[in-house]
A and B are shown apart, each in its own frame.
Chain A
């Protein structure tokens, strides 16, 4: 088991190297440069000034050399400084230790994605199980329709409708942002309630959109399992249906969900641009989008690298989870 894990971790290194190499080249292939934002169509930029800016950012070197420099820095976990005009270290831009947690982009995105994932699991798994056990009934059809509506509906549109209803008409919930103007003057409980109120709509919108995948996976894998002989045996033993489903069938039916969870670990730090923009949430999606648009190479590379590491780790975790859940795999 341990040797297997070590082997897997070592296998990750060349994969990661390949990912960074390809990413680095692809973002440099896109037309335009980080300096464009000040220098394009700006009459006050002379060729010398343009060269000086390129040199300042190290863009005058051949791309392989640039990659080498980046790689050398990264081996000491130094992701470099952003090319945008704030010149801050890129790590500080996603995780600013001087600020409270709620003002760190990585934390905000991670928190929202994690909460949404928990809500999705809490809702989707029971829906999946019950629609499997009530296959082809009216209930099954209704839940199927609802989760698919959630899947199909454009999240920005649903978000705007909910904002108009709960924010503008009913005045129940705030529209955008993470906290109110008077946040600092609130007691701790008030602060939690304030953030909670701001998170309600975003969490609902993102959870509603994510129900379909998990609940359908759960349903089909449950259907697969309850057809097995050992379930018949369990029923024949005279066990109550609840026990059959939740003790015997459920565990086996969870296996595909573990894979799904493993794959979504990488996604936990990636935010959706549209979603974050609509709700005015300062998360990773916005930052990534802005960095790509302004060709802020160090920032883009940092986010891609962290995302790649997490995805690889997620796959590993899924395999470990598999082994823990299924003795047959462990034996291999």
Chain B
């Protein structure tokens, strides 16, 4: 159960949760899921090189796209609700993502492109967004999709009767109007950059089926009706969801006729199913990726893919604590830790060293920030400057108080526990005594994080595709339950965060976020440790898979199995 979460399933058209703690205890249940995204893109438009895909077997079959066959995806958890705004679990988003489309979506380079909206205009002051919708798109029951459906979805998500976690972005809207059948306009109080991508698949709902009904009781929660590449045909509780391709899909009929989302709660069992053909695609743990999938059998029958996940793991300090108030102490700890070592030992090198809160090779990521190479001598020097003297028993002391603190982390994540152990060992070498305490997730959050009863923590953030991280770093976001629980405060960062979210100009935003990363690297409220890779294995009969920064499933409708390799024959 230790795999880094494969790339966020929320990525695609649901950029709502911009920073979700990943791989925590509750979400542990879903951590093994495969993600998929509804981003559909012509094959030719991927040009980026990211982490190398390990391409292995290739049969001598001409690569001619053909309709047919089924893809069986293994997931450790079952979706709960297929109306996107009601579900917050990854499996629901995975499946709903195949059924529903949004107005906009992310391209493989994280820029925003149209989905159900053909184009959109943003007014000069950034307050008004006008979406021009595609004409002639039909729900799978034949009714035409119009701006009324978007309006209905918007009204539903802001309604008090809808138990959703996603309403906040939509509460920023001052006015929403349907200008005509194919034009939808929203007006905001203040310009708000993440607003554009909030118009993903959360708010596109079939008005003609839901109007006037209690959405939580709607049959659509278990039998959705969208206009996406697949439609749900069968849901066997606790076992599988079967989706068949939508032949009338507006971007063309998907090649793979059937998509089966198979629920296998145990990852070891799922791995055995992979070997017997019961599963075609699943996420791997680093151990499985490096060691257990190296036999000739795997080389002949599977391809492995690897790309950075949208998440990072960090060591965060309670900046109110007397030890960590001093920036030199935090920098000293950074010099005393060897990040590459943690990456190599804990993740078998399947990831990258983190230098800030963004994923390498994405547009907000600044590659030129201050780095802290492993340097214990420098660490000792900085600690000396901060007033720490070596005591008798090899532990640093200041004013008679030994440098001793506890790192807290959550139960069930062995990556984090191993990371803590390595840090404990490295810090002992410079005279800092570290204790490790592992806590059940709810207790950890409610009793320790929320009440600020911690000295240091190892946790991870799952980050959204939009770079807005206001909630994590803004100095005003330090109240109970708010996310700046380390109590970081820097007026310049506050101003940059404000600037970054108030403009739609990508160059302006980039400038703000680049500068913010420089400051964070200097201030070190967290020591950014690593960005784990998402590791996915797919049966080699599937062709047309291209790795991109947003994963591999963005072009799922374009995947195909050449006729001679097709395994399942699906009656139309």
Query: Are the CB atoms of A42 and B17 closer together than 8 Å?
Result: yes
* A168–B485 CA distance with the chains assembled, in angstroms: 48
Residue of B222, B272, B483 ringed by the most chain A CB atoms within 10 A: B272
Q: Is B566 an interface residue (CB 8 A)?
A: no
- Given contacts A47-B481, A168-B275, is CB(A31)–CB(B21) below 8 Å? no
Given known A31-B446, A39-B165, A44-B169, contact A168–B17 (CB-CB < 8 A):
no
Contact B168 A44 (CB under 8 A): yes
Report the minimum CB–CB distance from B368 to chain A (whole Å): 27
B88 touches A85 (CB 8 A): yes
Given contacts A49-B167, A85-B88, A85-B89, are A277 and B19 in contact (CB under 8 A)? Answer: no
Q: Is A278 an interface residue (CB 8 A)?
A: yes
Q: Which of B79-87, B100-108, B508-516, B535-543 contacts A (4 or more CB under 8 A)?
A: B79-87
Residue A103 interfacial (CB < 8 Å)? yes
Which residues of chain B (216-247) have a CB below 8 Å from chain A? 216-217, 221-222, 236-240
**CB of A99, distance to nearest CB on chain B (Å):** 7
Alpha-carbon gap, A181 to B278, bound state (A): 9
Q: Do the beta carbons of A44 and B165 come within 8 Å of each other?
A: yes
Within the assembled complex, what's the spacing in Å between the Cα atoms of A46 and B17? Answer: 13
Interface-centre pick from A30, A31, A56, A294 (highest chain B CB count, 10 A): A31
- Pick from B29, B81, B472, B568: contact of A43, CB below 8 A: B472
Instruction: Write the chain A residue with the least CB distance to B221.
Output: A86
Digit string of B182-226 for contact with A (CB within 8 Å is 1, else 0)? 000000000000000000000000000000000011000110000
- Bound Cα distance from A50 to B263, whole angstroms: 31
Per a CB cutoff under 8 Å, which of B166, B237, B481, B568 touches A282? B237
> Which of B160, B221, B276 is within 8 Å of A167, CB to CB?
B276
Complexed CA–CA distance, A286 and B237 (Å): 12
Q: A44-B16, A47-B481, A171-B276 are in contact. Are A293 and B25 (CB under 8 A)?
A: yes
B160 near A52 with CB under 8 A, answer yes
B201 nearest CB across to chain A (Å): 16
Is A219 interfacial (CB 8 A cutoff)? no
B163 contacts the other chain (CB 8 A): yes
Q: A37-B88, A176-B273 are in contact. Are A44 and B166 (CB under 8 A)?
A: yes
- Separation in Å of the A158 CB from the closest CB of chain B? 13
Give chain B nearest CB distance to A117 CB in angstroms: 22
Chain B residues with CB below 8 A from A163, complex form: 269, 272
> How many chain B residues have a CB neighbour from A under 8 Å?
62
**Is the C-beta of A160 less than 8 angstroms from some C-beta in chain B?**
yes
- Residue B471 CB within 8 A of the other chain: yes
How many angstroms from the CA of A87 to the CA of B263 in the assembled complex? 20
Q: Are B264 and A280 in contact (CB under 8 A)?
A: yes
List, in ascending order, chain B residues with CB within 8 A of A181's CB: 72, 260, 568
Interface 1/0 per residue, A297-314 and B, CB below 8 Å: 000000000000000000
Q: Are A160 and B26 in contact (CB under 8 A)?
A: no
A176's partner among B16, B92, B269, B445 (CB-CB below 8 A) is B269
Distance of A330 Cα from B269 Cα, bound (Å): 51
A222 and B124 alpha carbons, distance in the complex (Å): 91
Chain A residue contacts of B29, Cβ below 8 A: 290, 293
- Complex contacts, A177 vs chain B, CB 8 Å: 239-240, 262, 264, 278
Q: Establish whether residues A42 and B269, one from each chain, have CB atoms under 8 Å apart when the complex forms.
A: no
Q: How far is the CB of A159 from chain B (nearest CB, A)?
A: 8
The contact size tier of chain A is: 35 or more
A290→B89 CA distance, assembly (Å): 13
B180 adjacent to chain A (CB < 8 Å):
no
Which residues from A are CB-within-8-Å of B471? 43
Q: Tell whether, in the assembled complex, residue A85 and residue B266 are in contact, meaning their CB atoms are under 8 Å apart.
A: no
Measured in the bound complex, the distance between the Cα atoms of B266 and A310 in whole Å is: 29
B222 CB contacts on chain A under 8 angstroms: 86
Name the contact of B238 in the complex, choosing from A105, A168, A295 (C-beta under 8 A).
A105
Complex CA–CA separation, A85 to B442 (angstroms): 18
Q: Which of B126-167 contact A (CB under 8 A)?
A: 160, 163-167
Tell me, yes or no, whether A32 is within 8 Å of chain B by CB: yes
**Known: A85-B80, A86-B222, A178-B239. Is A38-B269 also a contact (CB below 8 A)?**
no
Give Cα A179–Cα B568 distance, bound, in whole angstroms: 17
A36: interface (CB < 8 Å): yes
- Whether A286 and B265, one on each chain, are in contact in the complex, defined by CB atoms closer than 8 angstroms, is yes
A175-B166 contact in complex given A41-B445, A85-B88, A105-B238, C-beta closer than 8 Å? no
Alpha-carbon distance between A174 and B442 when the two chains are bound, in angstroms? 37
Rounded to whole Å, the gap between the CB of A174 and the closest CB of chain B is: 8
Query: Judging by beta carbons under 8 Å apart, are B266 and A41 in contact?
Result: no
Q: What sequence of 0s and 1s flags, for each residue 458-483 of chain B, a beta carbon within 8 Å of any chain A beta carbon?
A: 00000000000011100000000101
In angstroms, Cα B447 to Cα A38, docked, is: 18
Q: Do B26 and A280 have beta carbons less than 8 Å apart?
A: no
| Bound-complex Cα distance A306 to B513 (A) | 55
> B276–A103 contact, CB under 8 A?
no
Nearest neighbor of A273 in chain B, beta-carbon distance: B265
Instruction: Determine if B272 and A53 form an interchain contact, defined as CB atoms under 8 angstroms apart.
Output: no
Taking a contact as CB atoms under 8 Å apart, the answer to whether A43 and B266 are in contact is no
Provide the bound-state CA to CA distance between A86 and B82, in Å: 8
Contact of B265 among A178, A179, A276 (CB under 8 A): A276
Q: How far is the CB of B482 from chain A (nearest CB, A)?
A: 8
Asked whether, in the complex, the Cβ of A31 is within 8 Å of the Cβ of B165, the reply is: no
Minimum CB–CB distance for A221 against chain B, Å:
38
Whole-angstrom distance between the Cβ of B511 and the nearest chain A Cβ: 23
A85/B269 contact (C-beta < 8 A), A103-B237, A286-B238, A293-B25 known:
no
Contact of B269 among A179, A280, A282, A290 (CB under 8 A): A280
B20 beta carbon closer than 8 Å to chain A: yes
- Chain B residues contacting A239 (CB-CB under 8 Å) are none
CA distance A293 to B87 in the complex (A): 16
Min CB distance, A325 to chain B, in Å?
Answer: 39
Q: A41-B483, A42-B165, A85-B81 are in contact. Are A168 and B276 (CB under 8 A)?
A: yes
- Contacts A53-B163, A86-B222 given; does A40 touch B237 at CB 8 Å: no
CB distance from A280 to the nearest CB of B (A): 5
Q: Which residues B298-324 have CB closer than 8 A to chain A?
A: none
List, in ascending order, chain A residues with CB within 8 A of B440's CB: 31
B237→A41 contact, CB < 8 A: no
B18 touches A (CB below 8 Å): yes
A-chain residues with CB within 8 Å of residue B272 when the two chains form the complex: 160, 163-164, 167-168, 175-176
Please name the residue on chain B nearest to A108 by beta carbon: B238
CB of A96 within 8 A of chain B?
yes
Which residues in chain B, 502-558, are within 8 Å of chain A measured between CB atoms? none
List residues of chain B with CB within 8 A of the CB of A290.
29
Taking a contact as CB atoms under 8 Å apart, the answer to whether A30 and B442 are in contact is yes
A48 to chain B, nearest CB (A): 9
Which of A37, A44, A50 sits near B26, CB closer than 8 Å? A37
In the complex the two chains form, is A36's CB within 8 Å of B160's CB? Answer: no
Q: Write out, one digit per residue, whether chain A residues 162-173 have a CB within 8 A of any chain B CB (1) or not (0).
A: 011001100100
8 extra A-B contacts, CB within 8 A, seeds A36-B446, A43-B19, A49-B168: A32-B442, A37-B26, A41-B445, A43-B470, A47-B481, A49-B167, A176-B272, A177-B239
Closest 5 CB pairs of A and B: A282-B238, A32-B442, A43-B471, A38-B165, A277-B265
| Listed A/B pairs (24) with beta-carbon separation below 8 Å | A31-B440, A31-B446, A40-B21, A44-B169, A45-B165, A45-B481, A46-B168, A49-B167, A85-B80, A87-B221, A105-B237, A163-B269, A167-B272, A171-B276, A176-B264, A176-B269, A178-B239, A181-B568, A278-B266, A280-B264, A281-B238, A282-B237, A282-B238, A293-B25
